[in-house]
Structure 1
Amino acid sequence: MTIRIRAHHLLCMLTYAGKGYSGAFTANYDKIVERLGGGEDLILVAGPDDICAPLLADKDEHCFGQSVVERDESAARAVETLLGRPVRPGERFSLNADWIAKMRHAFHAGETRQACIGCEWHDLCTAIADEGYQNTRLVIGPQAPHP
């Protein structure tokens, strides 16, 4: 199977450390990063994705909001510039350790952080990047299960 990801989640997954909106949200996110780490591909989508799934029962959820659409657009532009390849709905990606390292370096350097302005998780993600991405859950290749 292929994991459906919206553009700004390409950035969020770099610093994901088991924190989220609810227990169901983090349990779902843990499964997604495990699948990505195991080599499953992702496809970019417009709008809510597989990470958003536990929040979608509430049609007023922020996942549907214009500010999140704008965050996706900003993230897509930044990642497209960094990677030199299209980052649009329908594009498929296979993650590897080099890709993650390049993305994390650019994120920490602020090169891809425009989309993060105004995000409630901004300070947490900044701290995680500043600490060298310790305890993040996205690991490419064989890995031990998370607690």
Structure 2
Amino acid sequence: MTIRLRPHHLLCVLAYVGKGYSARFTANYDLVVQRIAEGEDIVIVGGPDDICAPLLGDAEPHCWRESVIERDRAAARDLSTLLGTPIDAGVSLSLESGRLKRMRAAFAERSIRGACAGCEWQEMCNAIAASGFVDVVLPTSRE
């Protein structure tokens, strides 16, 4: 199988520590991150993805809001520059150790965090990056 991720979630998984909108959301997120850690490929999607899935049954899921779509645009722009490859719908990639290290270093330096402006999780992610990503669920390398 392939994991479907929207561009800004490529940033979110870097600092994910097991917290989320609800227990159901977090349980799903844990499974998605486990699949990434196991080396499953990712395909970029334009809109709600595998992480969003538990929220899509809500009356007005925020996953479709213009602000979230703009986060995707900003993340795609920053990550395309960093990785030297387009981060557009349909593109496949893996988050192997070297790529994760590069992304986390840029995340900590805030050079790929344009999508994070105004995010409710921003302060938590700042602290996680400042700590050196010690409590994150997604390991930088596979054991």
Shared fold per TM-score greater than 0.5: yes
| Residues 17-60 of structure 1: CA deviation (Å, up to 9, x unaligned) | 00000000110010011111001000000010000000000241
Task: Provide the residue aligned with 1:112 in structure 2.
Answer: 112
SS at the partner of 2:102? helix
Mapped to 2, the partners of 1:5 and 1:56 lie a distance apart of: 15
What percent identity do the matched residue pairs reach?
A: 53
Count of aligned pairs: 142
Unmatched tracts of structure 2, length 5 or more? none
Residue 10 of structure 1 and its aligned partner are, at CA, apart by 0.4
RMSD across aligned positions (CA): 0.8
User: Could you give the per-residue CA deviations for residues 110-142 of structure 1, whole angstroms, max 9, x where no partner exists?
Assistant: 100111000000000000000000110012423
Give the equivalent residue in structure 2 for 1:100: 100
1:31 aligns with 2:31: yes
Q: Which amino acid aligns with 1:141?
A: R
Q: Which runs of 5 or more residues in structure 1 are unaligned? A: 143-147
Task: Give the TM-score normalised by the residue count of structure 2.
Answer: 0.97
Q: Distance in 1 between matches of 2:128 and 2:8?
A: 17
Secondary structure at the aligned position of 1:134 is classed as coil
Amino acid at match of 1:94: S
2:142 aligned partner: 141
Question: How many Å separate the matches in 1 of 2:112 and 2:94?
Answer: 19
Which residue identity does 1:67 align to in structure 2? S
Runs of 4+ in 1 over 4 A off after TM superposition: none
Q: Which amino acid aligns with 2:7?
A: A
Residue 145 (structure 1) aligns with? none
Residue 48 in structure 1 maps to residue 40 in structure 2: no
- Counterpart for residue 9 of structure 1: 9
Quick one: distance in 1 between partners of 2:88 and 2:6? Answer: 9
Distance in 1 between the 2:59 and 2:4 partners? Answer: 19
Q: Give the Cα–Cα distance (whole angstroms) in 1 for the partners of residues 59 and 67 of structure 2.
A: 15
Q: Secondary structure at the match of 2:73?
A: helix
Structure-1 residue corresponding to 2:132: 132
